[in-house]
Amino acid sequence: MATHDMVKLGQRFNTPWSWDLWRSSPRVVALVLSVDSAAALLSVAALLGNTITASDLLRFGLLAAMSVVYVEVSRQVERSRRLVGMVNPTHIDVSSVWLLAAAAVLPTSLAALGAVLTQLFLYLRIWRGVDGVQPHRVGYTAATLALTCIAVSTVVHGNDHLSGTGLQAAETLAIAILTYRIANRLLILMAVVASSGRPRLARFAGTWGDNALEFSTLVLGAATAVLVVQVPPLALLVLPAVFLLQHRALLKQLVEAATIDTKTELLNAAAWRQLAQRELERAGRQKTATAVLVIDMDHFKRLNDTYGHLAGDEALKAVGEALADELRGYDAVGRFGGEEFVALLPAVDGPTAMGVAERVRERIESVPVRVERRTGGVGTIAVTASVGVAAAHGGVELDDLLRAADGALYAAKAAGRNAVRRAPHQVTTAA
């Protein structure tokens, strides 16, 4: 092989010693290495303990063939995803259809092997060429899926009850689905806690939409399991349903990409405006109050200059999380651009909004932001923000409300920052 080909191959395979993993915290490295080795050890142990029959191999072949068709069609979907800048490999995960079916009907070792091969194939066909996709992450996903399959297979104990009909099969499959979901979420939660240091329960539970999609995927997996055991050729009919599910997931991601700010996971400016405008129209119809908070980080440029842009981004993320946590679910919270956030509080008058703004200011002040010190080592710093508040009654123009809140923000900055100020007058509709 010519040298330049070797170099290209090395770049494509992203040699292990250049992986980002080694720059992660020791906690993350320890977790990844132990989950990877647990998956490998348990798979080998299962292989030594299992007897694999010809019909197991046939079923494995059938599921593998469907999985290959799925990955090949997914290449098209991935092309669309990349067009809008989405490269996260963990997002569209309809492959649990095959994995659940494999875990329910195959010997443990074959199910684990299937999980690893599916990820390897996905990596070779889709992720390898994508910037920012780290092989160790794909490896970790493969290990978590193998462990999930091992857990399901162990709980379900063989597939004899799937050849019958009725309650027993349904019960087995329900247990398989629950085990799959819980084992998989737990392993993902461990990774989230190891890398962020915070157990975020909301993330563990997932959103209703995520759960509905995952549940549909797993139910389809259960149907595949029954078909593979009872009428194998009909299992192929599951494929069109899988593609429909995948497209639903893609649609959801496209909507998110168009409305969510990637750095903070809050609404982006355009989506916030649209939502705020709708709320104001409603306030106009119902003659109710509305308040707006404009929140601007103090001396943010200095933070960037002292600790670097990555620390600045870390601070934005931390403040975004604090805002999402501190405000109610129906308060529209968005990142307006740079280091400026906005929140629209429906049915909240001026004095109440001042109380909320003060609470938000105190919360931001108490958020520890992780930074790497120039002198080496990691530490935390505190950040502050100034808040401008404006309130209105009934329908008003969004821009008038924002202008008033901006004026109040300016007053808060002039008052020495880390302060809350309110626009002197309630905003009213221009005559």
Point out which residues bind ligand GH3 (CB under 6 A): 263, 296-302, 304, 309, 312-313, 316, 338-339, 413, 417
CB of 301 to Mg ion, least distance (A): 7
CB burial string 222-247: b at 16+ within 10 A, e below:
bbbbbbbbeeeeebeebeebbbebbe
CB of 413 to ligand GH3, least distance (A): 5
Measured N-to-C along each axis, helices 108-122 and 135-156 cross at an angle, to the nearest 10 degrees, of: 160
CB of 365 to ligand GH3, least distance (A): 14
Which spans of this chain sit near Mg ion (rule: CB under 5 A)?
296-297, 300, 339-340
CA gap 399, 51 in Å, rounded = 71
Report the residue number, 308 or 394, with the smaller CB distance to ligand GH3. Answer: 308
3-state secondary structure of 269: helix
Among candidates 93, 94, 112, which has minimal Cα distance to 102? 112
Report the residue number, 279 or 296, with the smaller CB distance to ligand GH3. Answer: 296
- In the chain, count of helices (H) and strands (E)? 16, 7
3-state secondary structure of 431: coil
Decide if 382 contacts 368 (C-beta within 8 A). Answer: yes
CB of 306 to ligand GH3, least distance (A): 11
Among candidates 336, 204, 326, which has minimal Cα distance to 268? 336
Report the residue number, 235 or 303, with the smaller CB distance to Mg ion. Answer: 303
Residue position matching structure tokens 């998956």: 39
Q: If contact means CB under 5 to 8 A according to the sort of partner, which of ligand GH3, Mg ion, none does residue 252 touch?
A: none
Q: If contact means CB under 5 to 8 A according to the sort of partner, which of ligand GH3, Mg ion, none does residue 373 touch?
A: none
Both tokens of 7, joined, read 């170099």
Measured N-to-C along each axis, helices 96-105 and 167-196 cross at an angle, to the nearest 10 degrees, of: 120
CB of 323 to ligand GH3, least distance (A): 15
Q: If contact means CB under 5 to 8 A according to the sort of partner, which of Mg ion, ligand GH3, none does residue 340 touch?
A: Mg ion
Parallel, antiparallel, or unpaired: how do β-strands 385-393 and 420-422 relate? parallel
Q: If contact means CB under 5 to 8 A according to the sort of partner, which of ligand GH3, Mg ion, none does residue 312 touch?
A: ligand GH3
Report the residue number, 241 or 381, with the smaller CB distance to Mg ion. Answer: 381
Question: How many other C-beta atoms can be found within 10 angstroms of the C-beta atom of residue 377?
Answer: 8
Parallel, antiparallel, or unpaired: how do β-strands 378-382 and 368-372 relate? antiparallel
Report the residue number, 160 or 265, with the smaller CB distance to ligand GH3. Answer: 265
Q: If contact means CB under 5 to 8 A according to the sort of partner, which of Mg ion, ligand GH3, none does residue 278 touch?
A: none
CB of 38 to ligand GH3, least distance (A): 38
Report the residue number, 143 or 387, with the smaller CB distance to Mg ion. Answer: 387
Q: If contact means CB under 5 to 8 A according to the sort of partner, which of Mg ion, ligand GH3, none does residue 413 touch?
A: ligand GH3
